[in-house]
Amino acid sequence: MGRESESGLPIEAVYGPADLDGWDSQQKLGEPGSYPYTRGVYPNMYTGRPWTMRQYAGFGTATESNARYKQLIANGTMGLSVAFDLPTQMGHDSDAPIAHGEVGKVGVAIDSLDDMLVLFDGIPLDKVSTSMTINAPAALLLVLYQLAAEEQGVSADKLTGTIQNDVLKEYIARGTYIFPPKPSLRLIADIFAYCRTEIPKWNTISISGYHMAEAGASPAQEIAFTLADGIEYVRTAIAAGMDVDDFAPRLSFFFVSRTTILEEVAKFRAARRIWARVMRDEFGAKNPKSQMLRFHTQTAGVQLTAQQPEVNLVRVAVQGLAAVLGGTQSLHTNSFDEAIALPTEKSARLALRTQQVLAYETDVTATVDPFAGSYVIEKMTDEVEAATLELMRKVEDYGGAVNAIEHGFQKGEIEHNAYRISQETDAGDRVVVGVNRFKLDAEEPYEPLRVDPTIEAQQADRLAKLRASRDQAAVDAALAELRVAAEGTDNVLFPMKKALRARATVGEVCNTLRDIWGKYVPTDAF
C-alpha cells in the first residue's frame, strides 16, 4: 500500500511521463515571472537576491521588544515581524479587566501611540520593512505605525511592510475577532482605500492560511479556504467602488511550511496558478502584479514538540527548505523552544541562522525553480490543485466565504482533518520523533524565557499617566468624529488617525467601534 500526502492524495513509488498524459506544460508552467506564475512570481527569483528574512518577535513591554528587534537587525534580519499580546489583538487596553493575566504574554502590549514610539525607537522606518500580525484592530496599529514614522520625520510614502488584516480566518480558525463579518469587511475596504492614497507601498492584507493549518487544515484545505477568503476581500473592495487593479497589487498571502517537502512545494505552485487564473478570468485584472500570488511563509509551529526540543532545529530547517523551494517571498523560521515558551535570544538567533545557511551555504538560490519538470512535483501540483478547486467550489455553493463561515463549513472541515491527524499520531501511524517513537526515558532540563509578571502593572501605570496628561477634550472630539464615520459611509481611518494622534487608546477606539458595529458571537454551528 502506497503512502498518502497530508491532503489524503496518493503518493506513488515511481512517477514518469505516463503520469502526465494530457499535461500541457506550456499552459500550466509557463516561464518564471509570467502567467500563470506556477514557477514563481519573479523571473530571477533568488538568483538576484534571497527572500526577505523576517523573524516574528514581540513580548512584554515595548522597551523589551525594541531591544529584541535591534538584536535581530544586528544579526542580519532583513525585515521585522511584530507579535502583539492578546489584549492588543482583541482591542482591549492593558488595564481592562478582561486583559488580566494576558498582558505581554504572547506578544508586545501596545495601548497607545506612546507605546508604538517606544517600540520603534532608534529603528529607521524608512529603511526597515515591518510586518504586523494583527487582524481585527489592524487599522489602528497601521495608523499608529504611520504616526510613529511621522514622529521620526519619515513620510508615509516611504513605508514598506504588511498588516495581516485577515479577519475571515479568525472566524474560521483562530478566534481573535471583534466585530461581525460585515463591518469587518467594510473596515478592510477602508484600509485598502486609505493605503492607496496615504501609504502606497504598504501591503494592505496578508490573507492567511497559516492559522488554519495550525488548527489542523490539510495543505489543500489551507490554500482552498485562504483563496476563498481572498476572493471575498476582492469582491468587497470592488463592491465599495474600487477598480481591481487599484488595490490587488498590494494583496499578499501567508502560508505554513510543513516537513512534508514535496507536497508543500506542490501546494505553493498550485496556489499561484489558481490565484492568477481567478484574478485574470473572474475579476478581469489586467496588471500582472494583480495576478501574482506573493506570500510570506512561517515554519509549522504545530509540528514543534516540547519533547527533545533541539530536534525542532532539524524540523525548522526542513520546513524552511520547503518554503524556499516553493518560491516564498519572505520567511520566518520558528525557534526550537517555541513549544515550551517564548524564544530566548539565542534560540531566535539560531532560527535566523537557519535561513542564512539556506541562502548562503546551499545552492538552492543558484537556479530559478529547482523542481520544475519533476514528474512527482508536477503530478502532485495537479492533484493539490484539483482538490483545492473542489473545496473552493463547495465554498461557492454556500454563496462565498462569509456564508460558508456562518454555516461552519470551513471550521468543520478543518476540525475533521485535525481529528484524523490526532488519531494517526496516537496510533503511531504518523511518526513524531520524540513523541510516539524514539523517545527518551527522561527529558533534559530546559530553562525557558519568562515574562516579567509586573508588566501588567507597568502598563496600567503608563495608561493612568497618559489619561491624566492628554487633552481629553481633543480625544472626545476625535472619538465623536470616528463614531459619525462608523455610523455612515466615510472612511474611518482618517478620524481614527486623529483620535490616536490625540492619545486615544487602542481600547477606547475599539470600544467606540464596538458601540456602533457590535461584537461577533459565533453561531451554534461552531
- Under DSSP, is residue 459 helix (H, G, I), strand (E, B) or coil? helix
Helices (H), 339-471: 345-360, 375-397, 401-406, 409-427, 455-469
Find the helix packing angle between 219-239 and 261-277, rounded to 10°: 20
Q: Which of 414, 200, 453, 444 is nearest to 310 (CA)?
A: 444
**Could you give the residue range(s) of every CATH 3.20.20.240 domain in the chain?**
43-427
Q: Are 108 and 61 in contact (CB under 8 A)?
A: yes
Place of cell 511563509: 297
pLDDT the model gives residue 26: 54
Instruction: Give, in words, the CATH class of 43-427.
Output: alpha beta
* pTM listed for this prediction: 0.92
Q: Are 66 and 58 in contact (CB under 8 A)?
A: no
Beta pairing, strands 3-4 & 10-11:
antiparallel
Find the helix packing angle between 138-152 and 506-517, rounded to 10°: 140
pLDDT the model gives residue 222: 98
Type of residue found at 410: Q
In angstroms, the Cα distances linking 96 to 274, 454, 460 are: 44, 15, 9
pLDDT the model gives residue 21: 67
Torsion angle, alpha carbons of 285, 286, 288, 291, to 10: 20
Q: Give the phi and the psi of residue 169 in degrees, each rounded to 5.
A: -70, -20
pLDDT the model gives residue 325: 98
The number of CA neighbours under 13 Å toward the Cβ of 415 is 10
Tally the residues of the chain.
526
Encode the chain (526 residues) as per-residue pLDDT tens digits. Answer: 478 999 999 988 888 777 876 666 555 678 999 999 999 999 999 999 999 998 888 889 999 999 999 999 999 988 899 999 999 999 999 999 999 999 999 999 999 999 999 999 999 999 999 999 999 999 999 999 999 999 999 999 999 999 999 999 999 999 999 999 999 999 999 999 999 999 999 999 999 999 999 999 999 999 999 999 999 999 999 999 999 999 999 999 999 999 999 999 999 999 999 999 999 999 999 999 999 999 999 999 999 999 999 999 999 999 999 999 999 999 999 999 999 988 988 999 999 999 999 999 999 999 999 999 899 999 999 999 999 999 999 999 999 999 999 999 999 999 999 999 999 999 999 999 999 999 999 888 888 778 788 999 999 999 999 999 999 999 999 999 999 999 999 999 999 999 999 999 999 999 999 999 999 988 654 3
Helices (H), 7-112: 25-28, 62-74, 86-89
Cell of 265: 512545494
Distance from C-alpha of 214 to C-alpha of 339, rounded to nearest angstrom: 13
379-414 in b/e form (b: 16+ CB < 10 A) is: bbbbbbbebbbebbeebeebeebbebbbebbbbebb
pLDDT the model gives residue 187: 97
- Under DSSP, is residue 83 helix (H, G, I), strand (E, B) or coil? strand
Cell of 356: 542564512
